[in-house]
């Protein structure tokens, strides 16, 4: 009971995730969940190729095809399978372009935030001392506040925009990795092989980097995969508020914000971007849970 | 009061303190707000006068100190845009948000905890599976999308509920439903996990061997043991709800802190941003502290 | 008629095609007021057997065999009937006294709950709770009833659990490793407590343990289990004085002894086989120095070689000393 509430909650959330049974599974029992893998693969392809693979670019305005419903509706057109918006821009193409932004932001947040957080956690956990204590204080302080407050505060200073959002995401995200790595490192450094390396005279830095860190990798990987989904959700929330990616750049959140004005007669503008966010987050979560069940013996699965 | 609680209080204050400094820095370092406020026709004289009046020509540390003393007294300055007290804009908005999140929290407890308990009695049954899916969906659905969908169905298509505004109880329904979805999903999954764990513990096995009735075991013993972590979780959940509230308010035009802050960001209205962030952070930490104290009081192992 | 009569009790887990028998064909009996010690290593099936008697195994376990308790066919009772018996006539205390009490309720609250269950309508209160604790010789019970489990030592908790289990003077008490988690001095107190319970209420006790010393100390009869089967059973004096099964001999031989000022520690060579890899013959064959071909091929039949002294071995014939350790075949 002397853990911080966040530590307790994280442990519990880990447990609750571990218990969730995903209905999407391959025939091969140990394989990754089928649908989730498919969705993630589709996302990566979309992100890599962008609008090169769609008939239209995301900014292509066509006043001849304004407000077309999806292809299966009466006034829909095959060329615009998911419809068009108020400027005649193709929804599907914009979704693909949005995938680029989402994965870019989420990827940057996870990779840079993860690397930063891991090193902070490594130093705090392995070298300890006053530096370690200070870093720990800093980490806990960052974790103590809700994301939204920090994000708003940072955006107010930096202003909206794609790169600023990436910075905001990195700054609000690194602490989770720091805390995880720190606790992992603390338990790893008590293990025999670390003691042996010390006795053998290996330098502390080498031990930290070559022996301790790789052992913490599993937990970090699991967190990272789960984090991608979370980061995508947060980025779209910020963009929805208008604080993220700015027009004419496309993000799923921005598409949703635009859709709000046309709710009455263009339901497809609101449905599809949100659906894509939902599927993406769900898929990354499923993959993360699968990874956890494979890599983490403590998850109880 | 136990030592570690005092530590928690100290930590909370330390974090708030650091936060005030960070907020202060952010606002000052990013740019000169004066030309923004005075407009493009301001002369250098006007700018200097304004600077002097607001103490913006003083060294940074002095500015910070005066800022801090003001903050502690509740004075956050005046909104650049509306010329009214910043705190005066923030507090009513925060109250409106609290009403929303408070009701949502209660609703989530009322839905999530029973679902979690039901899902734990037969851990492999249909209900447990359903709770798991509900939890998974609840965490992955973007709240703003859900809000839009709700609005689409109930306000636009069916027309039974208002799509925006504030006033009657009907205005509460859609925003509260949106917020409760995620909260209740998380609570259901958490409750289920903790209940299953409690029901597998040694003392439950012992009670079964003693012949204690199952209802007593589940609702008196297992539930009480499972609820301690849940109570702590509620504190954090409030932070999540706050985030959800910000976007939900945007969708339903609910005059809460989210709306005020987002608008303030767009207009670079720093006093309001500062007031909003700091006051909200303070409330958040206070609630978490209270929740932690409550959890401590309920656990005899910790109170001495 | 015996208080408890068990015939061919088996507990199987796993897929039906390839079942793993945690307990196979166990047959024994317990008389009123008798203390029976069940001895075996971890994995010998002794705890599973006891859980089977309490019918508290998970649904995935398949239990077969005949169990008659106090004249009733235990395995055929409904859940409600079983619930009525549990705690009242048939009680069990588990391995971990440290974690077997609800940490959020005072001892008094939990005692009152048990007492009200045993004597419905009696409005048992703190006074009765204090009396219950006094019965198991807990000092300062008035103070203890207001305390929480974490404030008590392991020995005290074990007494409290014993008190709860025996609150209604059950006919049979099953104690699973009651002394394993306790210090040696405390062990002795708990064992004395068991003797008192038997003496005062004629409660029969089954003590499950891997500690031969405990068994020798208080049990009237001893049952030895190996890999899910009972290999030897009989009056304690007879089993310890004239062990017939090589495993029993090995166990007794491995009790630490001081010979000529030196501490001797012997062990049985080899390891307990995995339950899913057992053959058709005697499970102990591969570790037994007297094993023959027949031992590995065919499961030995139970043989009575003394007064109520049974052994399941092709070679045990009651002759004392023939199969002592190191003797020629």
Helices (H), chain A: 5-19, 34-49, 91-122, 129-144, 147-158, 162-188, 192-199, 204-206, 213-241, 252-260, 267-295
Calpha distance A57→A94 (Å, rounded) = 7
- Across A151-177, average pLDDT: 87
Contacts of A137 in chain B (CB under 8 A): 14
Confidence of residue A5 (pLDDT cuts 50, 70, 90): low
Distances (CA, A) of B22 to A139, B262, B286, C243, C280: 15, 19, 20, 79, 75
User: What's this model's pTM, rounded to 2 decimal places?
Assistant: 0.81
| Closest residue, chain C, to B302 (C-alpha) | C150
The predicted-structure confidence for C106-128, as pLDDT tens digits, reads as follows 999 999 999 888 888 778 788 88
Q: Closest Cα to residue B131, out of B195, B217, B221, B219?
A: B195
Contacts of B6 in chain A (CB under 8 A): none
| Closest residue, chain A, to B30 (C-alpha) | A157
**C-alpha distance from A56 to closest chain B C-alpha (Å):** 25
Helices (H), B223-269: 223-252, 257-266
Contacts of B27 in chain A (CB under 8 A): 156-157
**C-alpha distance from A237 to closest chain B C-alpha (Å):** 7
Q: Closest Cα to residue C281, out of C254, C250, C255, C315?
A: C315
Q: Per the CB < 8 Å rule, is A145 touching B239?
A: yes
Which of B218-232, B233-247, C310-324 bottoms out in mean pLDDT, i.e. has the lowest?
A: C310-324
Q: What is the mean pLDDT of chain C?
A: 85
Q: Per the CB < 8 Å rule, is A9 touching B140?
A: no
Q: Per the CB < 8 Å rule, is A20 touching B296?
A: no
Counting CB pairs under 8 A, whether chains B and A reach 3 or more, is yes
Calpha distance A253→C123 (Å, rounded) = 63
Domain range list for chain C: 242-329
Contacts of C91 in chain B (CB under 8 A): 209-210
- Across C59-71, average pLDDT: 88
Contacts of C208 in chain B (CB under 8 A): none
Q: Per the CB < 8 Å rule, is B240 touching A146?
A: yes
Distances (CA, A) of B4 to A1, A12, B118, B165, B284: 10, 21, 35, 44, 19
| Closest residue, chain A, to B281 (C-alpha) | A145
Nearest to C56 among B201, B203, B209 (CB): B209
Q: Per the CB < 8 Å rule, is B148 touching A260?
A: yes
Which of A19-33, A46-60, B41-55, C217-231 bottoms out in mean pLDDT, i.e. has the lowest?
A: A19-33
Counting CB pairs under 8 A, whether chains C and A reach 3 or more, is no
| Closest residue, chain C, to B224 (C-alpha) | C104
Nearest to A278 among B19, B141, B243 (CB): B141
Q: What is the pLDDT, as a whole number, of residue A25?
A: 40
Q: What is the mean pLDDT of chain B?
A: 84
Nearest to C87 among B202, B211, B298 (CB): B211
Number of H helices, E strands in chain C: 11, 14
Instruction: Map tokens 């053959």 to a residue.
Output: C279
Contacts of A154 in chain B (CB under 8 A): 26
Contacts of B219 in chain C (CB under 8 A): none
Compute the count of residue pairs across chains A and B with CB atoms less than 8 Å apart: 179
Q: Per the CB < 8 Å rule, is B229 touching A263?
A: no
Instruction: Provide the percentage of residues in chain C whose pLDDT is more than 90.
Output: 19
Cβ(A76)–Cβ(A68) under 8 Å? yes
Which of A17-31, A242-256, B28-42, C47-61 bottoms out in mean pLDDT, i.e. has the lowest?
A: A17-31
Q: Per the CB < 8 Å rule, is C102 touching B211?
A: no
Calpha distance C117→C7 (Å, rounded) = 32
**C-alpha distance from B281 to closest chain A C-alpha (Å):** 7
**C-alpha distance from B259 to closest chain A C-alpha (Å):** 9
Domains of chain B, each with CATH number or no CATH: 86-303 (1.10.3720.10)
| Closest residue, chain B, to A256 (C-alpha) | B145
Nearest to B145 among A13, A19, A278 (CB): A278
Q: Per the CB < 8 Å rule, is B262 touching A242?
A: yes
**Angle formed at CA C297 by CA C296 and CA C298, multiple of 5 degrees:** 105
Cβ(A291)–Cβ(A33) under 8 Å? no
Give the single-character DSSP code of C324. -
Contacts of B185 in chain A (CB under 8 A): none
Name the CA dihedral angle for C101, C105, C111, C113, rounded to a multiple of 10 degrees: -110
Residues 88-147 of A with CB under 8 A from B: 137, 140-141, 144-147
Which of B11-15, B159-163, B299-303, C34-38 bottoms out in mean pLDDT, i.e. has the lowest?
A: B159-163
Contacts of B232 in chain A (CB under 8 A): 5, 8-9
pLDDT at residue A8 greater than cutoff 80: no
- Residue C48 β-bridge partners: none
The predicted-structure confidence for B132-147, as pLDDT tens digits, reads as follows 888 888 888 999 999 9
Give the single-character DSSP code of B191. H
Higher pLDDT, A166 or A67: A166
Q: Per the CB < 8 Å rule, is B190 touching A278?
A: no
Q: Per the CB < 8 Å rule, is B144 touching A23?
A: no
Q: Per the CB < 8 Å rule, is C87 touching B300?
A: no
Calpha distance B22→B3 (Å, rounded) = 29
Contacts of C92 in chain B (CB under 8 A): 209
Q: What is the pLDDT, as a whole number, of residue A29?
A: 57
**C-alpha distance from B65 to closest chain A C-alpha (Å):** 20
Q: What is the pLDDT, as a whole number, of residue A3?
A: 45
Q: Per the CB < 8 Å rule, is A281 touching B140?
A: yes
Which stretch, A23-37, C5-19, C27-41, C270-284, has highest mean pLDDT?
A: C27-41
Which of A146-155, B127-136, B163-172 bottoms out in mean pLDDT, i.e. has the lowest?
A: B163-172
Which of A106-120, C219-233, C289-303 bottoms out in mean pLDDT, i.e. has the lowest?
A: C289-303
* Residue A266 neighbours by CB under 8 Å, 6+ apart: A67, A69, A83, A85, A86, A259
**C-alpha distance from B41 to closest chain A C-alpha (Å):** 24
- Across A150-158, average pLDDT: 85
Nearest to B193 among A15, A152, A154 (CB): A15
Contacts of B197 in chain C (CB under 8 A): none
**C-alpha distance from B237 to closest chain A C-alpha (Å):** 9
Q: Per the CB < 8 Å rule, is B224 touching C104?
A: yes
Element (H, E) at C309: strand C309-312
Q: Per the CB < 8 Å rule, is C104 touching B216?
A: no
Q: Per the CB < 8 Å rule, is B273 touching A260?
A: no
Calpha distance A115→A112 (Å, rounded) = 5
Chains sharing 3 or more CB pairs under 8 A with chain B = A, C
Nearest to B201 among C91, C99, C114 (CB): C99
- Residues of B at the C interface (Cβ-Cβ below 8 Å)? 201-203, 205-213, 216, 221, 224-225, 298-301
The predicted-structure confidence for C12-22, as pLDDT tens digits, reads as follows 888 877 888 88
**C-alpha distance from A207 to closest chain B C-alpha (Å):** 32
Structure tokens, C260: 């000529």
| Closest residue, chain A, to B9 (C-alpha) | A4
Which CATH topology does A36-47+97-299 take?
A: MetI-like fold (1.10.3720)
State residue C229 phi and psi, 5-degree precision.
-120, 150
Q: What is the pLDDT, as a whole number, of residue A26?
A: 37
ipTM above 0.90, yes or no: no
- Across B165-177, average pLDDT: 82
């Amino acid at each position: 009971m002397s853990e911080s509430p966040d530590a307790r909650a994280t442990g519990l959330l880990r447990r609750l995730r571990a218990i969730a049974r995903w209905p999407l599974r391959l025939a091969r029992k140990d394989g990754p969940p089928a649908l989730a893998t498919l969705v993630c693969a589709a996302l990566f392809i979309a992100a890599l190729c962008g609008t090169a693979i769609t008939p239209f670019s995301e900014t292509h305005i066509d006043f001849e095809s304004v407000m077309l419903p999806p292809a299966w509706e009466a006034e829909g057109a095959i060329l615009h399978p998911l419809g068009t918006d108020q400027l005649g821009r193709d929804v599907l193409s914009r979704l693909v372009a949005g995938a680029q932004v989402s994965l870019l932001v989420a990827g940057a947040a996870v990779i840079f935030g993860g690397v930063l957080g891991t090193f902070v956690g490594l130093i705090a956990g392995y070298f300890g001392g006053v530096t370690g204590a200070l870093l720990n204080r800093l980490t806990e302080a960052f974790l103590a506040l809700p994301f939204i407050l920090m994000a708003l505060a940072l955006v107010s200073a930096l202003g909206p925009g794609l790169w600023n959002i990436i910075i905001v995401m990195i700054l609000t995200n690194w602490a989770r990795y720091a805390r995880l790595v720190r606790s992992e490192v603390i338990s790893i450094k008590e293990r025999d092989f670390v003691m042996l390396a010390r006795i053998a005279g290996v330098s502390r830095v080498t031990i930290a980097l070559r022996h301790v860190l790789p052992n913490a990798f599993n937990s970090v990987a699991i967190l990272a995969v789960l984090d991608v989904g979370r980061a995508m959700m947060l980025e779209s929330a910020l963009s929805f508020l208008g604080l993220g990616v700015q027009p004419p750049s496309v993000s799923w959140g921005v598409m949703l914000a635009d859709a709000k004005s046309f709710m009455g007669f263009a339901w497809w503008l609101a449905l599809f971007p949100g659906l894509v966010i939902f599927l993406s987050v769900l898929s990354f979560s499923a993959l993360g849970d699968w990874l956890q069940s494979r890599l983490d013996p403590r998850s109880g699965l | 009061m136990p030592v570690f609680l005092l530590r928690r209080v100290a930590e909370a204050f330390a974090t708030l303190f650091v936060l005030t400094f960070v907020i202060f820095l952010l606002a000052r370092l990013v740019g000169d707000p004066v030309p923004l406020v005075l407009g493009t026709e301001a002369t250098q004289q006007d700018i200097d006068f304004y600077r002097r009046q607001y103490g913006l020509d003083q060294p940074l540390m002095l500015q910070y100190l005066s800022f801090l003393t003001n903050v502690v007294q509740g004075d956050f300055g005046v909104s650049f845009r509306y010329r009214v007290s910043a705190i005066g804009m923030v507090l009513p908005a925060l109250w409106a948000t609290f009403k929303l999140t408070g009701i949502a929290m209660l609703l989530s407890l009322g839905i999530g905890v029973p679902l979690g308990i039901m899902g734990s009695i037969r851990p492999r049954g249909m209900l447990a599976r359903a709770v798991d899916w509900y939890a998974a969906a609840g965490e992955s659905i973007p709240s703003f999308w859900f809000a839009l969908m709700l609005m689409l169905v109930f306000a636009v298509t069916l027309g039974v509920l208002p799509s925006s505004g504030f006033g009657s109880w009907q205005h509460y329904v859609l925003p509260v439903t949106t917020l409760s979805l995620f909260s209740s999903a998380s609570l259901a999954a958490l409750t289920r996990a903790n209940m299953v764990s409690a029901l597998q513990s040694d003392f439950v096995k012992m009670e079964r061997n003693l012949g204690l009735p199952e209802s007593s075991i589940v609702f008196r013993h297992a539930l009480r043991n499972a609820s301690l972590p849940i109570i702590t979780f509620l504190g954090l959940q409030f932070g999540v709800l706050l985030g959800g509230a910000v976007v939900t308010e945007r969708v339903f035009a609910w005059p809460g802190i989210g709306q005020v802050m987002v608008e303030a960001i767009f207009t670079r209205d720093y006093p309001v941003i500062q007031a909003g962030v700091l006051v909200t952070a303070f409330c958040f930490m206070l609630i978490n502290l209270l929740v932690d104290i409550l959890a401590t009081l309920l656990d005899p192992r910790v109170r001495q | 008629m015996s208080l408890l009569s068990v015939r061919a009790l088996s507990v199987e887990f796993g897929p039906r095609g390839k079942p793993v028998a945690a307990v196979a064909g166990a047959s024994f009996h317990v008389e009123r007021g008798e203390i029976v010690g069940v001895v075996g290593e971890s994995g010998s099936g002794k705890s599973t057997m006891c859980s089977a008697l309490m019918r508290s195994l998970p649904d995935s376990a398949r239990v077969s065999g005949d169990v008659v308790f106090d004249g009733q066919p235990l395995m055929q009772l409904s859940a409600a009937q079983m619930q009525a018996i549990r705690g009242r006539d048939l009680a069990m205390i588990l391995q971990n006294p440290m974690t077997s009490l609800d940490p959020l309720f005072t001892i008094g609250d939990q005692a009152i709950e048990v007492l009200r269950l045993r004597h419905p309508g009696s409005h048992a209160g703190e006074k009765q709770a204090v009396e219950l604790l006094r019965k198991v010789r807990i000092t300062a019970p008035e103070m203890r009833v207001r305390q929480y489990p974490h404030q008590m030592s392991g020995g005290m908790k074990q007494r409290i659990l014993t008190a709860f289990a025996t609150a209604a003077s059950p006919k049979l008490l099953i104690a699973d490793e009651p002394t394993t988690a306790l210090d040696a001095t405390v062990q002795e107190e708990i064992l004395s407590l068991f003797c008192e319970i038997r003496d005062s209420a004629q409660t029969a006790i089954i003590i499950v343990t891997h500690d031969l010393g405990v068994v020798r100390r208080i049990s009237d009869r001893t049952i030895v289990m190996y890999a899910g089967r009972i290999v030897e059973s009989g009056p304690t004096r007879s089993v310890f004085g004239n062990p017939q099964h090589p495993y029993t001999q090995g166990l007794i031989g491995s009790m630490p002894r001081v010979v000529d000022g030196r501490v001797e520690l012997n062990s049985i060579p080899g390891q307990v086989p995995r339950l899913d890899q057992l053959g058709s013959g005697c499970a102990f064959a591969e570790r037994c120095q007297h094993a023959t071909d027949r031992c590995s091929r065919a499961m030995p039949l139970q043989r009575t070689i003394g007064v109520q002294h049974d052994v399941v071995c092709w070679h045990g014939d009651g002759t004392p000393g023939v199969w002592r350790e190191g003797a020629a075949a």
